[in-house]
A and B are shown apart, each in its own frame.
Chain A
Amino acid sequence: MTINQISVFLENRPGQLANICRTLAEADISIVTLSLADTAEFGIVRMIVSDHDKAKEVLKAAGHVANMREVVAVTVPDRPGGMAEILDVLDAAKVDIEYSYAFAFHHGEKAVLVFRFDDNEKACAALAAAGHPVLDFKSVLEEAK
């Protein structure tokens, strides 16, 4: 079970991220979470948003380079060692993590880890088998409310 993530190329000049956020705001799209990957020369912003198809459309229309990729969201107990448990499962299943970021829910004692794996299906199976709930898009939205 995967969810869609929008990635946008960020040119190295002031105001770029603000432009992207404004474009989404004007289309009434909310950002559930985002993560920035950057180098000295450019960046990539990865976002989970309330409506990814529309987000991609409006971002492209505004001249940005954007693409959509499938990522895996998994809940993790918000306590010491919570993430380590998940990583142990993935390690045992021999899946590679391309990148990952985390966000906390507004209430409750859970956080969500977002992963991009070399093999999403295999990772999901391993996580489910180990009893770590993999979230679908609807529950991510629900939980984020």
Chain B
Amino acid sequence: MDYMPVEPLRALQLHRLQWTVKYAYERVPLFRKRCEERGVRPEHIKTLADIKLLPFSKKTDLRDEYPMGLRGAPMDEIVRFHCSSGTTGKPICIPNTMQDIEVWKNGAMRCLTMYGIRAGDVLQVAYGYGLFTGGLGLHYGGEGLGCAVLPISGGNTERQIMLMRDLGVTAIACTPSYFLQGVDFRRDTKLRHGIFGAEPWTDEMRETIERETGIVAHDIYGLTEISGPGVAGACPHRTGLHIWEDHFYPEIIDPDTLEPLPDGEVGELVFTTISRCGTPMIRYRTRDLTRLRTEKCPCGRTMRVMDRISARSDDMLIIHGVNVFPGQIEAGLLRVPEVAPHYQIVLESTDTLDRFEIKVEVTDEAFSDDIRHMENLRKRVLDAVKSIIGLTPKISLVEPNTLPRSEGKIKRVIDNRKK
């Protein structure tokens, strides 16, 4: 598929797009309603460019329709759920059919193959397993290729290194920041490949990793809403990330006007799944900013490449590989009635894991001269935030009205991390 000539590829995409639109129109009430509002019917999609007639979908739709309002396939065809954090306290849920899982696995396999990973390689999957798609995506991709997979999940760096050494691991999949944190990974090991994604990283980080550890650092991209890791990946020519557009049809739009932008221009990445049944996503706004390129890649793959994600068009932060929205922090603080939702997120690079602090203003009502009461307050704030985002920030109590405000609004995020 990777080398399919462009013309038949476009024909295949159109065929699949038409199928998807009809499928979703008949099965997903929200999509049908929005089409009817615009006066669009499935038969109006005659060319790929007609995709612009279709309504967008957003993360908030998944939240509003939680848990399964956007499900396309009947329940007896659903084999697995994945969930990810929503933009506020409520998660989003994605039901997948067996075919969806196969498509996802296939995308991960195509990425691994492109990186030069083969049967005989030992793949350590240090992404989290579970509701997060990172772990299971690479797991099935690796097994599908015939690799020996070590499903170690995240954490416990010492054990990671011990097993890496003892089992002769040749490839590891994890976030680049986690890898940098345990640079000793390369010492006395057979590690040759790193498969990095789930958070933005830079060419400088890649150079550091490759120079310090002697491995090849590969890019992978994916998102739960569309499938999981393996939506796109970088080939050895490093022209960008090839998108498996026979399943995930990409567009770039202007995030303000919502008009499609031509290839080569930077805008918001939008995906339409064109073979998915469990949760068909049409014109899903990823909020990731990038551009699509059509230049022929020396590797011969015809699938368009996108630049590595450099920024986002919303306020989402990626902290320790986890997506965090300031709104989630706010939702957490609202669960602790004594504190005002006046907060500031401070992020700083350190030699290891980035420092993640949340400053919260203390109010007169919350203040007590009893230190246990204040410690308890801090703990309740931490628990409330942690239960929503799954991370453990440092909670600092600060005096009221001390967080810097501009035009009455506190600057919610101070991100001093090295880019």
A: which residues have CB within 8 A of B?
5, 7, 9, 11-12, 37-39, 41-42, 44, 46, 60, 63-67, 69, 98-99, 116
Contacts and interface: CB of A to CB of B under 8 A. Distances in A.
A11 B369 contact: no
Contacts of B401: 63
Given A9-B362, A65-B364, A44 B369 contact: yes
B370 A67 contact: no
User: Interface centre among A38, A65, A98, by most B CB within 10 Å?
Assistant: A65
B367 A39 contact: no
Given A39-B371, A42-B374, A11 B398 contact: yes
A11 B360 CA distance: 11
Contact of A98 (B362, B370, B396, B400): B370
Given A9-B362, A65-B363, A67-B364, A37 B399 contact: no
Given A42-B378, A65-B362, 4 more contacts: A7-B368, A41-B397, A67-B367, A99-B370
Contacts of B184: none
A9 B396 contact: no
User: Interface centre among B367, B375, B400, B401, by most A CB within 10 Å?
Assistant: B367
A44 B374 CA distance: 9
20 contacts: A7-B367, A9-B362, A9-B367, A9-B374, A9-B397, A11-B397, A11-B398, A11-B402, A37-B369, A37-B371, A39-B371, A41-B396, A41-B397, A42-B396, A42-B397, A63-B399, A65-B367, A67-B369, A98-B370, A116-B370
Nearest to A37: B371
A69 B370 CA distance: 10
Contact of A65 (B395, B396, B399): B399
A67 B402 contact: no
The 5 closest A-B pairs by CB, nearest first: A7-B369, A65-B367, A37-B371, A11-B399, A11-B398
Interface string B71-108: 00000000000000000000000000000000000000
Contacts of A67: 364, 367-369
Contacts of B399: 9, 11, 63-65
Nearest to A38: B371
Chain A contact residues: helix, strand, loop or mixed? strand
A60 B368 CA distance: 15
Contact of B375 (A5, A39, A60, A98): A39
Interface in B387-418: 395-402
B383 to A, nearest CB: 16
B397 A69 contact: no
Contacts of A39: 371, 374-375
A74 to B, nearest CB: 19
Nearest to A43: B371
Contacts of B375: 39
Contacts of A44: 369, 371, 374
Given A12-B396, A63-B399, A67-B364, A41 B369 contact: no
A54 B397 CA distance: 25
Contacts of A9: 362, 367, 374, 397, 399
Nearest to A69: B369
Contacts of A65: 362-364, 367, 399-400
Interface in B342-401: 362-364, 367-371, 374-375, 378, 395-401
Contacts of B397: 9, 11, 41-42
A68 to B, nearest CB: 9
Nearest to A65: B367
Nearest to A63: B401
Contacts of B371: 37-39, 44, 99
B400 A63 contact: yes
A5 B369 contact: yes
A99 B371 CA distance: 9
Nearest to B397: A42
A63 B368 contact: no
Contacts of A11: 397-399, 402
Contact of A63 (B367, B370, B378, B402): B402
B340 to A, nearest CB: 12
B76 to A, nearest CB: 53
Contacts of B369: 5, 7, 37, 44, 46, 67, 69, 116
B339 to A, nearest CB: 12
A86 to B, nearest CB: 21
Nearest to A7: B369
Contacts of B400: 63, 65
Nearest to A98: B370
Nearest to B395: A41
A64 B398 CA distance: 10
A46 B369 CA distance: 7
A77 B212 CA distance: 68
Nearest to B372: A98
Contacts of A41: 378, 395-397
Interface in B279-322: none
B394 to A, nearest CB: 8
A13 B368 CA distance: 19
A69 B398 CA distance: 21
